[in-house]
Amino acid sequence: MSLDKATVRRIATLSRIEVADADLEVVAGQLSGILNWIEQLKEVDTTDVAPMTGGTDLKLQWRPDVVNDGDKMEKVLANAPDGHDGFFGVPKVVE
Amino acid sequence: MGYIIKGEKHNWELVIGLEVHAQVISKAKLFSGSSTDFGGGPNTQVSFIDAGMPGMLPVLNGHAVEQAVKTGLGLKAKINRRSVFARKNYFYADMPQGYQISQYDQPIVGEGTLVLDMPDGSLREIGIERLHLEQDAGKSIHDLHPHKSYIDLNRSGIPLMEIVSKPDIRTPEEAGIYLKKLRSILRYLGTCDGNMEEGSMRCDANVSVRPVGSTELRTRCEIKNVNSVRFVMQAIEYEARRQVDCYESGGTVDQETRLYDSNKGETRSMRSKEFAHDYRYFPDPDLLPIEFDEAFVTRLQGALPELPDDKLARFTKDFGLTAYDAGVLVAEKENAEYFEEVAKGCDPKLAANWVITNLFGVLNKRGVEIGDSPVSAKNLGRLIELISDNTISSRMAKEVFEAMVETGKTPDAIVEERGMKQITDTGAIDAAVDKIIAENADKVAQYKSGKVQMLGWFVGQVMKATQGKANPAMCSDALKKKLDA
């Protein structure tokens, strides 16, 4: 499977990663290589295997409905480049 | 039915499906231990999971699963004992993970039914397509700073149930009744408080139109995040008219998301975000499937409260109420409970009448809920008993009721204080009757000469003589006996 430049540009936009036009060709080649490598999985016969969402036999753990976290606004905001009065500040989102 | 938009070329009917986001009643969030309380200081109810910090893993709140299954049972829906969380990827400032954990092709609840009680007494079934669990996003505040938006993540991670109807709804009125009925069921179940003003219940409406008689499904528009039943109905009405005008003038309708502006009473296109609909759903690798056994479902089924439809059936069957009265009483769980308390020791039809006409009248006037009623259910029940056993007349009961509203006293105390006890002592009534007859020989002569309608005048005189306390039926009987003798 090989990706064209337009698809790479679209993936980059969706991922919010900046890829310069000059690099699109290279990245397309790299991503295609990864996809081709993964495509080898298709060679395995999975006719009688139910689809899985994970690779373990574990059961999903449930937590009780108990409040035991939160109340740490300062820690939550510690790495925010632009905190104001307990809020995260971000560039204005105009609707 | 009968909601048709008349155009030049066709008569058009509406095809409406509703998506309701209902906040699950829980103490903690869907995947973290932080609080779901409303109104906390900004970012004080946020864990590192809710803030989307790298390396944090979600752990499912089992109570949210129970609530979703309970709701599914209340909607008589198929419960899926295995369902899968998926990531819905999109980029927005108030969603720090960069994806919403939701459910996609394997939701926890499948198809069900909601029955609408139409005003003409008929029933109308609306299909439920699915119900799935997902997390809420944070809140963006745009008006605190001229160049910035502020983000509060307290809502981030709060458990929601998205409840999707089939496109079975045909009129704005049905949409309104659907929302009220769904809200009522959720509140009976205790799985969502149904408060649209605080945003714990939000509605998206999918609307399309088609010529009457056709079964095609045309392009639909989605009206997002409407926050009251009335606005949902208005938005649908406007949007349907807009689409009809589009088609009739030779245009087409684009599939798009629209916003309802309640000030202008119109819907308008949201600036469509680039790739907005490329959500790239995939199973969330941080979470295994939700699985439970039949015993889990049976236990929840066994603990379900009586739901509005069953209560309505019981009120009409056991109490002999009309479907309309029963419908009014069961719409809110608290009202139904109040009524049952009133009706415990007295005639249920009379009780329904008093609750609906007199009590609800007072509550509406004062703008209070039944929980703050100035008259307790016990006292209202006692008042009705006093009418039934002839202690007071219905007319006096209204006066007693007013005094109960003002003072909160028991009806017995008020009747005692004001000496309003009805005279049912035949001796006292006979004495009054004799006196009136003796004093009005001319009127007696008229009556005897055939003017039997004079009886009413005599009853009035006896009532007057007893300050309205005599039992009117007994007066009438006593008068007839003496005058006809």
Cα separation, B131 vs B65, whole angstroms: 12
What would the DSSP string read from start to end of B9-41? S-EEEEEEEEEEEEE---SB-SSSSSB--TTPS
Of B30, B114, B41, B17, nearest to B68 by C-alpha is: B30
Q: How many Å apart are CA B381 and CA B389, to the nearest integer?
A: 12
Q: Which of B35, B93, B142 sits opposite A70 (nearest CB)?
A: B35
Asked if residue B193 lies in contact with residue B187, where contact means CB atoms within 8 angstroms, the answer is yes
Residue B382 has a CB neighbour count (10 Å cut-off) of 17
- State the DSSP code for A21: G
Q: Is the pLDDT of residue B370 over 50?
A: yes
Taking an 8 Å cut-off on Cβ atoms, the answer to whether A63 and B288 are in contact is no
pLDDT for B229 equals 95
Give the pLDDT score at B220: 93
Long-range contacts made by residues B413-416, C-beta under 8 angstroms, separation at least 24? B415/B386, B415/B391
Which pair of tokens denotes residue B447?
Answer: 């009556």
Lookup: tokens for B245: 């005008």
Neighbours of B18 (CB within 10 A): 25
Encoding tokens for residue B404?
Answer: 């109960």
Task: Give tens-digit pLDDT for B389-414.
Answer: 888 888 889 999 999 999 999 999 99
- Determine the residue among A7, A59, A60, A95 to mutate to test chain B binding: the one whose Cβ has the most chain B Cβ atoms within 10 Å: A60
Contact list in A for residue B148 (CB cut-off 8 A) is 82, 84, 89-92
Yes or no: say if B189 and B70 are a contact pair by the CB < 8 Å rule: yes
Least confident interval from B181-185, B412-416, B418-422: B418-422
Stated length of chain B: 485
- Cα torsion B283, B50, B196, B354 to 10°: value is 100
Chain B residues closer than 8 Å to A95 by CB? 142, 270-271
Q: For the packed helices B426-439 and B472-483, what is the interaxial angle rounded to 10 degrees?
A: 50
Separation in Å, CA B366 to CA B235, B238, B257, B371: 30, 34, 40, 13
Closest residue of chain B to A67, computed from CA coordinates: B33
Q: Model confidence at B430, in pLDDT bands (50, 70, 90)?
A: confident
Q: Which residues of B touch A16 (CB under 8 A)?
A: 91
Task: Give pLDDT tens digits along chain A (95 positions).
Answer: 789 999 999 989 888 899 999 999 999 999 999 999 999 999 999 999 887 767 777 889 999 999 999 999 999 999 999 998 999 999 988 65
Quick check: B420 pLDDT over 80?
no
Q: What are the pLDDT digits (tens) for B326-369?
A: 999 999 999 999 999 999 988 999 999 999 999 999 999 999 99
Residue A36's SS3 state is: helix
Phi and psi for B212 in degrees, rounded to 5? -55, 135
| Topology, domain B426-483 | Arc Repressor Mutant, subunit A (1.10.10)
Q: Decide: B134 and B160 in contact? Cβ < 8 Å.
A: yes
Average pLDDT over residues B106-115: 97
Helix (H) or strand (E) holding B283: strand B282-283
Whether the complex's predicted ipTM is more than 0.85 is answered with: yes
Mean pLDDT of B96-102: 95
Contact residues, chain A, for B51 at CB < 8 Å: 76
pLDDT number for residue B1: 52
Higher pLDDT, B325 or A57: B325
Q: How far is A26 from chain B (nearest CA, A)?
A: 24
**Closest to B44 (Cβ–Cβ): which among A13, A61, A71?**
A71
Q: pLDDT band for position B482 (50/70/90)? A: confident
For residues A75, A77, A81 and A86, what is the CA-based torsion angle, rounded to 10 degrees? -140
Model pLDDT for residues B28-86, shown as the tens digit of each residue: 999 999 999 998 999 999 999 999 999 999 999 999 999 999 999 999 999 999 999 99
Structural domain boundaries of chain A? 5-43
Quote the strand ranges of B284-377, DSSP E: 290-291
Domain ranges of chain B: 5-300, 306-417, 426-483
Mean pLDDT across the stretch B215-239? 94
Q: Are the CB atoms for B153 and B46 separated by under 8 Å?
A: yes
User: What's the mean pLDDT in B180-196?
Assistant: 96
pLDDT at position B466 is: 82
The model's pLDDT over B267-295, given as tens digits with 9 standing for 90+, comes to 998 865 545 568 899 999 999 999 999 99
The residue among A57, A73, A74, A84 with the most chain B CBs within 10 A of its CB, best to mutate, is A73
Locate tokens 């684009």: which residue?
Answer: B254
Which residue in the set A13, A59, A67 is minimally distant from B288, CB to CB? A59
Token representation of residue B209: 């139109």
